[in-house]
Amino acid sequence: MSLSRRAFFRNLGAGPADSASREFIAARGREALVNEMWRSGLSYEEAEAQFGPPPEGAIVISSNENPLGPGPAAYQAVLDGLDQWAGRYPTNFRPSHADLMQTIAAKFDARSENVTLGTGSGEILENAAKAFTGPDKALITADPSYMQAVSVARRHGHPVKTVALDANLRLDPEGIARAARGAGLIFLCNPNNPSSTILPASDVEALVSEVQRSSPDTRILIDEAYHDYATDSAHQTAIPLALRTPNVFVARTFSKAYGMAGLRLGYGIGHVDTIRTLAQWTHVFNSNNLANAAAVASLNDPAHLEQERARNTAARDYTIGVFRDLGFEAADSQTNFLFVNLGRPASEFRDACRERGVMVGRDFPPMENTHARVSIGTMDEMRQAAEVFRQVLA
């Protein structure tokens, strides 16, 4: 028996226009659980016991999601596909995963051969660590930065070398280039999570050029999960650079600005030789029908992305001002979160906020005793959270 759209949303406890159904797709508040699974090797059940669902009514600004979920076009694409999605493989559903790859390629004047899909961009990061690191091929990354590729490399016993952020919490391209000689993979998260800062496009190109000269077999993965939130003109996507440069590739996700964290979809794009190697590690049918349909609709709706960027920028600027008025400085955020120097353990701030119904980010060693990460929600959520911040930091 097919599942009708009406029955689907009745089972969710929400009507089609209800924000709860969008939050189901956005999957808010689950990053801490997943991160603990990567970091410590806990099972899902063990991690769930420690990081259960957010308390009912809590303001969840801990996991860098889009608080509004997907845009109207993507949402409608999910509704339209519900009556037929479950019984078809992604090759036999329209838009298929091949249609999605063609849509992505066309957006960047590339070919489908330049694209590989992932279950979120996380699969791209994991596959890169498996494909390009080894017992004598280290992974090079910043510290602190996003940990998924690092966790995979360490799980396989492959060496990891870290390079500290500079005084402005930006990636250190010269330090990374020095560490990269003989390495298997460089992982650049740009804009960086958790520091929220960018490495300017000119520095990215200079880093790539130096690594090609000094360590030509090293691959470079640039994670642009937060690209769509950057407003600094010094930041540009590295996709054109990747398409023309062997050994360089970019990871993107639909989990952030596109609001599809619960649908789990991302992609890698770059030079065809690099993508061909990476794609050998890809899971079969790793993108589902609803995610494919929503992604195609999202890519064909650039106006909504601009609206989301403007919404985030306004709420981000407001929240930066709140902390500044309280005497605390945030790094130069080009993302949908802040990294704030509170001069105290993040755990103290996090626990005090949670007691008052606001959930903020987890620890980020080696800066967990000074800095806290705060995701950006809606303007109403940030105004309510600001009152809590004032109480906790008074």
The stretches of 195-301 forming alpha helices (DSSP H) are 201-214, 239-244, 272-279, 289-299
Q: Looking at residue 326, what DSSP letter applies?
A: T
**How do residues 313-350 score in pLDDT, each as one tens digit?**
999 999 999 999 999 999 999 999 999 999 999 999 99
What is d(CA 43, CA 30) in angstroms, rounded to the nearest whole number? 15
Residue 14 has pLDDT above 50, yes or no: no
Residue 66 has pLDDT above 90, yes or no: yes
What is d(CA 315, CA 318) in angstroms, rounded to the nearest whole number? 5
* Nearest of 90, 123, 96, 103 to residue 251 by alpha carbon: 123
What is d(CA 272, CA 111) in angstroms, rounded to the nearest whole number? 9
Average pLDDT on 25-45 reads 51
**How do residues 364-380 score in pLDDT, each as one tens digit?**
999 999 999 999 999 99
The pLDDT assigned to 3 comes to 46
pTM: 0.88
Judge residue 34's burial from the number of C-beta atoms within 10 Å of its C-beta, 0-12 exposed, 13-18 middle, 19 or more buried.
middle
- 327 Ramachandran zone, left/alpha/beta (phi>0; psi -120 to 50): left
What is d(CA 175, CA 253) in angstroms, rounded to the nearest whole number? 27
Mean pLDDT over each residue of the chain, to the nearest integer: 88
**Does an H or E element contain 311, and which?**
helix 302-325
Selecting from 3.20.19.10, 3.30.70.60, 3.30.230.10, 3.90.1150.10, what CATH number does the domain 29-62+303-393 have? Answer: 3.90.1150.10
Q: Give me the residue spans of the domains in the chain.
A: 29-62+303-393, 77-299
Q: Looking at residue 164, what DSSP letter applies?
A: E
**286 pLDDT band (50/70/90 cuts)?**
confident
Assess whether the region 29-62+303-393 and the region 77-299 belong to the same CATH fold.
no
What is the DSSP track for 243-257?
HHSTTEEEEEESSST
The pLDDT assigned to 31 comes to 53
What is the CATH T-level fold of the domain 77-299, as seen in this structure? Aspartate Aminotransferase; domain 2 (3.40.640)
Three-class DSSP category at 186: strand
